[in-house]
Structure 1
Amino acid sequence: MSHHPSSPAVPPVSDAQIDEAAALLAAGELVAFPTETVYGLGGDAESPAAVARIYAAKGRPANHPVIVHLAPHGDPQYWVGPLPADAQRLIDAFWPGPLTLILKRAAHIPAAVSGGQDSVGLRCPSHPVAQRLLEAFSARRAGHGGVAAPSANRFGHVSPTTAQHVRDEFGDAIHVLDGGACDVGIESTILDLSRGFPALLRPGRVTPREIADVLGVAPRLPDGGDATAPRASGTLKAHYAPRTPLALLPFDALEPMLAGAQTAGMRVALVARASRAGTWADARNVHFVAAPEDPHVYARELYGLLRALDRAQVERIFVEKLPGTLEWIAVNDRLGRAAAAFEANE
């Protein structure tokens, strides 16, 4: 797992720590654990009481489904009706990794993990600590254990990409396995296969083009035009929001707002690529953050950046909108939801 140059060395997670966390899950308790995308808040996916605890801890609406995380040797067929050939092809191509598949839920799986729907979201994470925890828990469940885990933060807040972010949200109330900083940094791609055609419900590191290369057909994109789509994690319009008001606009549209803030003596943050920021990077009362020029690096650093800006004592956050190309789809998606939380109040 790659780390930022600045991130401290992570103490190795011992077998005893893994076993303790698996025992807590088996007892119906919650455990926060690292994945390659973000930290998850995990509970036994087959225990409606444990799933209810997740919702209560997050303050999350109960009709909002959670993703079930499987061990590398876990059996997806246990969780779904017949496994479609397309699903198997994608599993072979992308698991373990940041791709969640929405499939028809098997009758014996409790509806609680699905927000009451007849589908279920499945993923196999690639983070070694997540895999060890999932293997240990699955062993306690005759090889069929799955851990339901949305991001380990209060509902609608910025997702956590370090163990400290989780502690900042929940204090000592949640048991946390520290596996270092997350490598991908934004949530998994969610692909719906429950309706007979592939549909992208949430963009992520696995791109629509990569999915099309495996399936031979491009997935439908999340343009909001599909009323039959199942609800999925992190697809509400306003989500992933910092506490400081955030505006997302092309740089040309940000400049008059920056000028107005200067005139008003307001301290603001500006997140833009250095190639665009020009003299605003050094302007008075502007807390400038140079945005990464690479989409994967931007994704990895995004949530840590939003959390840092909340602590920067600024009144507004101005973010340069990124190119509308497919390589930027996941970062634009998260920034758009962060900004949407404030647009209604403008």
Structure 2
Amino acid sequence: MQTKIFTPDQIDQAAAKINQGELVSFPTETVYGLGADATNVSAVEKVYAAKGRPSDNPLIVHVADVATVEKYSLPLDEKVKKLIKQFWPGPLTIILKLKKDALSKKVTGGLETAAFRNPANDATISLIKEAGVPLVGPSANTSGKPSPTLAEHVYHDLNGKIAGILDAGPTKFGVESTVIDMSTDTPVILRPGAVTKEQLEEVIGEVEESGKKVTNDEIPKAPGMKYTHYSPNASVEIVDSDEDWDDVISFSQSQDHQVGILATDKILNKQNWPKNCVTFSLQNSINTASHLLFAGLRKFDLNPEIKTIFVQGFPDVGLGDAYMNRLSKSAGQKHFKKV
């Protein structure tokens, strides 16, 4: 199979592929998703095969309007309606209880709930409308690898495995959507993202954050709760404070391989990096760092000479919560410590 790059003026062609049961990657404001007709079981199965994704890892259903959600879900309560009014279209995924047999168990991971999202991307909204069906859309990468923020990232991972990629340029946020479970008595954030806990509570009141570890025999309600995510081939370590970078330099000088440095300009410009250090800028804030994290990890992943990657940590508040969630999983919770 040859993977075709579709431009925004070729959305009708991309939609035709979706209607034929093929896979087309699409852009959102967070990361690129891997699209298939959510009502076509064989197409959904192709998503799992293309990604190498475990079959009990549920998929997010992307919709162009609220009416599509209401077609599949039980009646929306007032809190859900408030969230939709405030944050859709946008980087918020909402888990809802489903009508009986409304969606295939292949989409839901065998659960009686499903995750819905209305992405803030004009090209993808047009694609969904043109196809006339909701689209499943996990991140368009090989399972476990850093999520794609550019069409070329998708092409690198999935060329020859999918029919096409709708290229609408780089994504805005760079970390996946916030996932909130609204099927429980108290709303629970299952995955932090660009919409923060504080923002959610301003709209619907108390919101809990899940610290639950999903065991091997449990089905996760949302992506990212059970399986390894965001991991490049090289070892990743989090650098917690500015004072630790001198020790990172000392460590790097002692290595006979290349070392990746992913940090803000403040850090990059402050240090005299050894020749074996390859740097990537997170620019100057948690906003830019969140946007560029996956791009940096992917760039280093393309360099087989890089065996270790050091990444700047941020306080896990606000958007920093989402950033550190992704970074901690990428690093396997490993933090740099001076030997």
Q: TM-score, normalised by structure 1?
A: 0.87
**Displacement of 1:74:** 4.0
Question: For the Cα contact (< 8 Å) 1:238–1:339, is it kept in 2?
Answer: no
Structure 1 CA distance for aligned equivalents of residues 179 and 234 of structure 2: 28
Unpaired segments of 5 or more residues in structure 1? Answer: 1-9, 139-144
Q: Which residue among 222, 234, 239 is the counterpart of 2:229?
A: 239
Question: For the Cα contact (< 8 Å) 1:321–1:332, is it kept in 2?
Answer: yes
Closer, same or farther in 2 for the Cα pair 1:197/1:229, shift >3 Å? farther
Closer, same or farther in 2 for the Cα pair 1:216/1:163, shift >3 Å? same
| Alignment of 1:158 onto 2:158 | no
In the alignment of these two chains, the number of paired residues is 325
Q: Which residue among 294, 314, 322 is the counterpart of 1:303?
A: 294
Q: Which residue among 309, 315, 323 is the counterpart of 1:323?
A: 315
Question: For the Cα contact (< 8 Å) 2:229–2:329, is it kept in 1?
Answer: yes
Closer, same or farther in 2 for the Cα pair 1:223/1:281, shift >3 Å? farther
**Displacement of 1:320:** 2.1
Question: For the Cα contact (< 8 Å) 1:37–1:183, is it kept in 2?
Answer: yes
| Alignment of 1:121 onto 2:118 | no
Question: For the Cα contact (< 8 Å) 1:271–1:288, is it kept in 2?
Answer: yes
| Alignment of 1:195 onto 2:189 | no
2:141 corresponds to which letter in structure 1?
N
Q: Deviations over 1:264-298 (max 9, x none)?
A: 44431222234345753433422233333322211
Question: For the Cα contact (< 8 Å) 1:280–1:286, is it kept in 2?
Answer: no
After superposition, residues 29-40 of structure 1 pair within 5 angstroms as 29-40=22-33
Question: For the Cα contact (< 8 Å) 2:262–2:281, is it kept in 1?
Answer: yes
- Give 2:330's aligned residue: 338
**Displacement of 1:184:** 1.4
Closer, same or farther in 2 for the Cα pair 1:181/1:212, shift >3 Å? same
Closer, same or farther in 2 for the Cα pair 1:266/1:154, shift >3 Å? closer
Question: For the Cα contact (< 8 Å) 2:328–2:334, is it kept in 1?
Answer: no
| Alignment of 1:271 onto 2:265 | no
Closer, same or farther in 2 for the Cα pair 1:281/1:203, shift >3 Å? farther
2:155 corresponds to which letter in structure 1?
R
Q: Deviations over 1:185-240 (max 9, x none)?
A: 111110011112111111111111110000022x2113237989952112336311
| Alignment of 1:96 onto 2:89 | yes
Structure 2 CA distance for aligned equivalents of residues 229 and 92 of structure 1: 30
2:192 corresponds to which letter in structure 1?
P
2:171 alignment partner, SS class: coil
Q: TM-score, normalised by structure 2?
A: 0.88
Q: Deviations over 1:238-277 (max 9, x none)?
A: 3111111111131345543541331344431222234345
- Give 1:141's aligned residue: none
After superposition, residues 142-157 of structure 1 pair within 5 angstroms as 145-157=133-145
CA RMSD of aligned residues (A): 2.4
Q: Which residue among 145, 161, 173 is the counterpart of 2:161?
A: 173
| Alignment of 1:19 onto 2:12 | yes
1:109 corresponds to which letter in structure 2?
L
2:103 corresponds to which letter in structure 1?
I
| Alignment of 1:204 onto 2:219 | no
Unpaired segments of 5 or more residues in structure 2? Answer: none
Structure 1 CA distance for aligned equivalents of residues 25 and 265 of structure 2: 36
Question: For the Cα contact (< 8 Å) 2:213–2:225, is it kept in 1?
Answer: no
Q: Deviations over 1:122-152 (max 9, x none)?
A: 00011011010011122xxxxxx21111011
Closer, same or farther in 2 for the Cα pair 1:155/1:226, shift >3 Å? closer
1:248 alignment partner, SS class: strand
1:93 alignment partner, SS class: helix
Question: For the Cα contact (< 8 Å) 1:239–1:341, is it kept in 2?
Answer: no
| Alignment of 1:56 onto 2:56 | no
Which range is displaced more, 152-161 or 305-314?
A: 305-314
- Give 1:109's aligned residue: 103
1:311 corresponds to which letter in structure 2?
L
Which range is displaced more, 72-81 or 242-251?
A: 72-81
Closer, same or farther in 2 for the Cα pair 1:279/1:207, shift >3 Å? closer
2:280 corresponds to which letter in structure 1?
V
**Displacement of 1:314:** 1.9
Structure 1 CA distance for aligned equivalents of residues 200 and 306 of structure 2: 40
Structure 2 CA distance for aligned equivalents of residues 46 and 192 of structure 1: 22
Question: For the Cα contact (< 8 Å) 2:264–2:289, is it kept in 1?
Answer: no
1:13 corresponds to which letter in structure 2?
P
Closer, same or farther in 2 for the Cα pair 1:20/1:325, shift >3 Å? same
2:326 alignment partner, SS class: helix
